[in-house]
Structure 1
Amino acid sequence: MRGFKLWLGGVALAGLTLGAVPADASVKVIGRGEGRLCYEYAKTGHSSEPGIESCTRALTEQALTPEDRAATFVNRGILHMYAKDFARALTDYEEAITLKPSLADAYVNKGVALVNLGRDAEAVTAIGQALELNTVRPEIAYYTRGIANEMLGNMREAYNDYRQAVALKPEWKEPQAQLRRFAVVPKNRG
């Protein structure tokens, strides 16, 4: 079940088959210059070497506010995830979190990268942090945590996470498809 693809508007998530996920996950960078260009590349929904280079130039050559610097790390991480370079993406998300520990979407994307790296227990923790920080895309957080929980064998938690994702975004087909694989069986009372 590995190989899930999920990107959080300028903040990306990558891994399982996420079907049609709303593509607004990047973190907006205000102003002009390489940081803004990096955001635009991340928003397009695919990796590109020029996009990654733009992000790197913004981080090394542009005077960014701490918030824009954190957002640029997230956006570069998204581009790395599109390129399936999950280790580099994870490094960028961790840099963003170091700069701005309250950036919930960095934790969601970190969780997705961790799922893709097979580090599911860490993913559950990262997603929990994103939810505590009130991520703007909780449906993605619950769905991703559902995947991680399922990979860990925590079926009840996975089921509940998929249900919550459906409750938050009923038109999103992927969590619905995951739920259809479950059968709720009453406990045997003995």
Structure 2
Amino acid sequence: MLIDSIRRNSIGLGIFAVLTAGTIALTQTLTAPRIEANKLSAATKALDEMVPAAKHDSPFFKHVITLPAGTLGNEHAAEVLQSVLQGQVNAVFLPVVTHKGYSGDIRIIVGVWSNGDLAGVRVVEHKETPGLGDKIETRKSSWIENFTGKSLANTTGEQWHVRKDGGEFDQFTGATITPRAVVGAIHDALEYFQANKGQLLTLAGAPK
């Protein structure tokens, strides 16, 4: 689910440690609360980068809509988080999975303002090639920032492709499949928002 996915991946991709089973158990017992707090803090920071604190006055994890399995590429039920300001939903965070990555699934969060403009996009999990496809990460390049402000209204269907395919968005040198997959997934998210914005912009309650 979206919250779990963000918590699992927001600390950083590709950080691994080889420890004995006993050490793992002891470490988890002693550090689990701190790790969970750090993960939640990192997740909130990533969402705040898309919708700054001044634009919402309620915690993102307080208002949640559950999407059925299969929606936006998610194999299981997924959660949409709502940004709320003065009792009104002003943006949503859509969990999207594209199965068209070069090395497997790419999981992203697509932030959409209530007017249909993109608030931002963040990759939360992928297995793309280091030094090539991993430029979809904000810590590797600013490529994904180019989507902020884009919408179905100001970017036509033909433009929602990489330049190699006649679209507006740059591909990476030596890596076209990865950015092509992400561009397509973002476009799918915007189309889903457009078709379901009545539900998505209706204030929801806390997750059960």
TM-score scaled by length of structure 2: 0.28
Q: More strand by proportion, 1 or 2?
A: 2
Q: More helix by proportion, 1 or 2?
A: 1
TM-score scaled by length of structure 1: 0.30
- Larger Rg belongs to: 2
